[in-house]
Amino acid sequence: MKTSFALTMSIAASALLVACGGSSSSDTASTTTASNTVRIGMEGPLSGDQKVTGVGMLNGAKLAADKLNAKGGLLGKQIEIVSIDDAADPTTGVTAANAAIKTGLDGVVGPYNSGAGIKTLPLYEAAGLTPVRLTSDSATNGMGYTLQPMDYQIAPVATTALTDWLGAKSVAIAYDPTPGYTATVGAQMKKLLEEAGVTVTAYEAVKPGASSYASTVSKLEATNPDAIYSVVYFPEGGLIAKAMDASSSKVKCMADYASDDPGFVTTAGKAAAQNCPVVGVPSPGDFPNGGSFDAAYQKEFGEGPGTWSSYVYDSVNLLATCVKEAGGFDNTPNADGSTTAQVDGSTALTKCLNATKDWKGVTGSVTIDAANGNRDPATVVVLATDNNGALHVDSSWANAVNAPY
């Protein structure tokens, strides 16, 4: 898809250039390019099972840069989006982040996967960058800022939806034990449900990447729960929903926030997805100002936005707003030539981000809790799959809890 600005060369190519040492002319060219552009990295799963999520994130960043560039760019320079592919894997993410940092970055948005972010966010901070992340694990608190919900904001909504809305008295939990968001929320859900008087009939670790989870579903259904809650990413969440739909059991299905992606529906199949609500965030069209974003995205990329496209779009724009106010990115080298991130609000950029209150974006009004860099209140909802196969705020849930959507 054509855009009005040049997308950076792949990080793999950049890493190869670094590995080969580069020539003095290449170094000069890099310096010249950096002086004429603002380079904002976008880290996400641009390959692998979660590629659809990463591509939607990247497109959101590109759309934001496009619109900012059409208005003169940032600091008088055009914005260049640098793609950083972590493939939802911490090791891959570290390699990609280091390569991107070597090529020179002014800012960074992402990553999405908390497991990757736990490893890559400190690298960006050590390079003097202030990340605007999309991770939801509390282990990443204080590592930059985020506009999307955190685990401690998500689990209570999910617990209430299971108990008060679905009326579950017993729940079986399937969770991805990979260190990061799913492992954290799996434990939080078990604790909160038990505190609410719910019997947790099973707490089953599932390995990601399988082609079917029918045997896991059969094992969980055999414990006779009222509902199965799956704390897994969307490839696994969709397959669990598919297996439950194929079962003759009357057990209710609900998928965790990690499954909030259009890929959940395509993996499960529309009928199965319609029988399995998902805890997540509103789709762009569910927000008051989301319609124009949805239309612009459709026009630019020929398809609807992914779940996190609008959050990345807002992340780039909020970062740009504070960079303008601060007069720069505050990436000032230390006396020894290194750079250290300022996460205590001591720079003009972080002071602006910490003071964010009622900033208006596609995803609604944004206020940042300066104590941890997180958005408060969070935009956590329950989603239903409509007849077009799209995820939107479940009206039955919204009416039950008086949600403003």
Residue 346 has a pLDDT of: 59
Q: By the 8 A CB rule, do 69 and 36 touch? A: no
Measured between alpha carbons, how far is 237 from 239 in angstroms, rounded to an integer? 5
Measured between alpha carbons, how far is 170 from 162 in angstroms, rounded to an integer? 9
Residue 14 has a pLDDT of: 41
Q: With bands split at pLDDT 50, 70 and 90, how would you rate the model's confidence at 248?
A: confident
Cis peptide bond prior to 225, omega within 30° of 0: no
9 or 278: which leads in pLDDT: 278
Mean pLDDT over 271-290 rounds to 93
Q: By the 8 A CB rule, do 38 and 320 touch? A: no
Measured between alpha carbons, how far is 295 from 311 in angstroms, rounded to an integer? 16
Measured between alpha carbons, how far is 272 from 135 in angstroms, rounded to an integer? 28
Measured between alpha carbons, how far is 236 from 186 in angstroms, rounded to an integer? 15
Mean pLDDT over 121-130 rounds to 95
Sheet holding 78-85, edge to edge: 78-85, 37-44, 107-109, 132-133, 145-146
Measured between alpha carbons, how far is 391 from 155 in angstroms, rounded to an integer? 20
Q: With bands split at pLDDT 50, 70 and 90, how would you rate the model's confidence at 404?
A: confident
pLDDT tens profile 143-186: 999 999 999 999 999 999 999 999 999 999 999 999 999 999 99
Mean pLDDT over 177-198 rounds to 97
Measured between alpha carbons, how far is 130 from 319 in angstroms, rounded to an integer? 9
For residue 10, what is the DSSP state? P
**Range scoring the smallest mean pLDDT among 17-26, 179-188, 240-249, 344-353:** 17-26
Q: With bands split at pLDDT 50, 70 and 90, how would you rate the model's confidence at 405?
A: confident
pLDDT tens profile 259-278: 999 999 999 999 999 999 99
Residue 170 has a pLDDT of: 98
Q: Give 175's strand partners.
A: 205, 231
Measured between alpha carbons, how far is 402 from 250 in angstroms, rounded to an integer? 28
Mean pLDDT over 103-121 rounds to 97
Mean pLDDT over 58-76 rounds to 97
For the chain, report the end-to-end CA distance as a whole number of angstroms: 32
Q: By the 8 A CB rule, do 136 and 164 touch? A: no
Per-residue b/e over 295-317, b at no fewer than 16 CB within 10 Å?
Answer: ebbeebbeebbbbbbbbbbbbbb
In the chain, the domains with their CATH numbers are 11-149+287-372 (3.40.50.2300), 151-280+381-401 (3.40.50.2300)
Residue 263 has a pLDDT of: 94
Q: Within a 10 A sphere around the Cβ of 336, how many other Cβ atoms?
A: 6
Measured between alpha carbons, how far is 6 from 9 in angstroms, rounded to an integer? 9
Place of tokens 């090529």: 103
Question: How confident is the prediction for the chain on average, in pLDDT?
Answer: 89
Is the confidence at residue 213, as pLDDT, over 90? yes
**Range scoring the smallest mean pLDDT among 295-304, 336-345, 362-371, 373-382:** 336-345
Is the confidence at residue 18, as pLDDT, over 90? no
- For residue 81, give the H/E element and its range: strand 78-85
Measured between alpha carbons, how far is 50 from 178 in angstroms, rounded to an integer? 15
Give percent of the chain above pLDDT 90.
83
288: nearest Cα among 219, 220, 379, 221: 379
Measured between alpha carbons, how far is 91 from 113 in angstroms, rounded to an integer? 12
Question: How does DSSP assign 100-118, residue by residue?
Answer: HHHH--SEEE----HHHHH
> What does the H/E/C string look like for 288-354?
CCHHHHHHHHHHHHCCCCCCCHHHHHHHHHHHHHHHHHHCCCCCCCCCCCCCCCCCCCCCHHHHHHH
Give percent of the chain above pLDDT 70.
88
Report residue 234: phi and psi, to 5°.
-60, -30
Residue 289 has a pLDDT of: 81
pLDDT tens profile 80-95: 999 999 999 999 999 9
Q: With bands split at pLDDT 50, 70 and 90, how would you rate the model's confidence at 331?
A: low
Report residue 80: phi and psi, to 5°.
-115, 125
Amino acid at 104: G
Is the confidence at residue 338, as pLDDT, over 80? no
Q: Tell how strand 37-44 and strand 78-85 pair up.
A: parallel
